[in-house]
Structure 1
Amino acid sequence: MLNQRLASYENIVAIGGGHGLGRVLASLSFLGERLTGIVATTDNGGSTGRIRQDQTTIAWGDLRNCLSHLATRPSLATSVFDHRFTGDNELNGHNLGNLVLHALDQLCVRPLDAVNLVRNMLKINTRIIPMSEASTHLCALTIEGNKVIGELNVDDMHEAPVALHLEPAVTATTEAIHAIEQADLIIVSPGSFLTSILPPLLIPELANKIKPSSAKVIFIDNLTSDNSAGSRFNLSAKINWIHQVLGQNVVTDVIRQTGIDDGSELNSIHIHHFDLVSSHHRGLHDKIALGDAICQVTREN
């Protein structure tokens, strides 16, 4: 039924990182190859951060998370891919999926090849593409003019930054550019606003393809405040940040949880409210409800 209601959309692109993008992709996984996830690769925390301390590589954590959300469960392959080591040793805290992706990257020509090998192993049809295949870090500029380097430090800022950029500057993955060129629906996923949602939009090639696109652009807001400097932003502030990067009037629709109202007024943007909270975790979107909400919004306009 959901597939039939999105039948008019041939190419749907979801952008972001972490659990938020994973939930969106899982909610629309029935679309198969018609769905593409463009994933942030700037994380420098946890297992993926430890790998990046020793190796010049992209961040694998959000890519692994999206693949995990899309994989069929239960299976031996997903259990192995999700395994996290414990014990008093150097492997403690590492996620095996991150290590597998990094190892495959060393054996392949490019990072996307490693992602595609895992997709095939887990029998995932949805395309998962890193925003860039070159290593880069998220940087923020404070109101005093100081530079804060790395996602972890940006999340720990006591005040919201005045600007963000990637350092070093990197180019977008060719496949990500092509996906946006072909998109008739673009979804900006929920997640940590500064460190999961904005990084892909900071790459000029991606931003410059979204700006003139005729695709409907839906922004999905968080259910709860994330523990970061971005949690200070109301909906209007988030949309203003997106429009500063992409240009005015790019976002056409917003999906929010029923009962959330921070007083934001968004001219010409349609705000839609749904009951989206997962029964298992109040901070996560229910996958079925989210998929249904996206379908309904695409029908209304």
Structure 2
Amino acid sequence: MTIHTKNKVVAIGGGHGLGRILAALKDFGHNATGIVATTDNGGSTGRIRQCQGGIAWGDTRNCINQLITEPTTSSMMFEYRFRGAGELNGHNLGNLMLTALGNLSIRPLEAINLIRDMLQVEVNIVPMSEHPADLTALSVSGQWVRGETNVDEMSELLQRLYVEPEVPATDEGIHAIQAADCIILGPGSFLTSIMPPLLLPEIGKAIAECSQAKVVFIDNLDNEYGPAGMMTLEQKLNWCQRACGGRQVDILLGENFSDELKLQYQCVEVNLASPNHEWRHDRKKLQQQIEKIILQ
């Protein structure tokens, strides 16, 4: 048996960051699972949610796009974005396809699996919840804000972040965490991609109780904007620990960690940047480091 057939890996997040990680985990096939944030309310996703309701599909579509290995007519359809005047302008066909399937299927997860089968994507992709929800934030000055895009645009630190209404986590996501040998948080937008799944009590509890798994936090290569950009890495790790029932991250993966962090965590300092885009993680470098951590 190889590392890819005997180890199970779960990555949690959303958008581009989770997509990069899942692409790095592609060789794990069905033994890799991405648990995807579903609270986005911006862009094409937000417009669809306003008129159709349902969960946010944009981050799921992004992850699927990054796992497509062979360009086909089906993949080009899924990635197609409408341009021009009118209501379709800016909409991504993949978002519309997932919305339509979600309206037809018994479960959103079935819609994702249909698309995965069509595009020959082996890695499991599970929405954090199959019920619509939004982010709500409370700033340090006492201001309440609702909606992911509004949270990103806040100009001060947050004291609390909530998923409202309180929706149940997807069973398949919980089962994947319980069976995991490695759980990866990040990279990506901390407050709007990494935290939303962790804020679901069942996910935090499952991570806290998964004693056999190494929990890895992958730091971003560039500073974020908004309130997340004002947080130190120590603060982010404390938020993760609080959401996961006191379970501390085991390993930090990135560069330039402080002496204080090195005393508290196992820090793996390595350059993970893509040669072409220094703000984007390189898939091959991620794959090598994650496999090293699992083999430890």
Shorter-chain-normalised TM-score: which range? over 0.9
- Residue matched to 2:261: 265
Given that 1:200 and 1:206 are in contact with CA atoms closer than 8 Å, whether structure 2 keeps it comes out as yes
Given that 2:34 and 2:125 are in contact with CA atoms closer than 8 Å, whether structure 1 keeps it comes out as yes
**SS across alignment from 1:298:** helix
* Letter aligned with residue 209 of structure 1: A
Compute the displacement of 1:263 (Å).
Answer: 5.7
Q: Does 1:234 align with 2:232?
A: yes
Give the 5 Å matches for 1:124-273: 124-214=121-211, 215-257=213-255, 260-261=256-257, 264-265=260-261, 267-273=263-269
Aligned residues: 295
Given that 2:272 and 2:285 are in contact with CA atoms closer than 8 Å, whether structure 1 keeps it comes out as yes
- Unpaired stretches in structure 2, ≥5 consecutive residues: none
- Residue matched to 1:43: 40
Q: Does 1:281 align with 2:277?
A: yes
* Letter aligned with residue 198 of structure 2: L
Compute the displacement of 1:266 (Å).
Answer: 5.0
CA distance in 1, matches of 2:46, 2:62: 14
Tell me: CA distance 1:264–1:159, structure 2 relative to 1, closer, same or farther (3 Å): farther
CA distance in 1, matches of 2:156, 2:245: 24
CA distance in 2, matches of 1:6, 1:237: 33
CA distance in 2, matches of 1:246, 1:176: 15
Compute the displacement of 1:5 (Å).
Answer: 4.5
* Letter aligned with residue 61 of structure 1: G
- Residue matched to 1:75: 72
- Residue matched to 1:21: 18
CA distance in 1, matches of 2:103, 2:110: 10
Q: RMSD across aligned C-alpha pairs, in angstroms?
A: 1.5
- Unpaired stretches in structure 1, ≥5 consecutive residues: none
Compute the displacement of 1:217 (Å).
Answer: 0.4
Compute the displacement of 1:43 (Å).
Answer: 0.3
Given that 2:216 and 2:249 are in contact with CA atoms closer than 8 Å, whether structure 1 keeps it comes out as yes
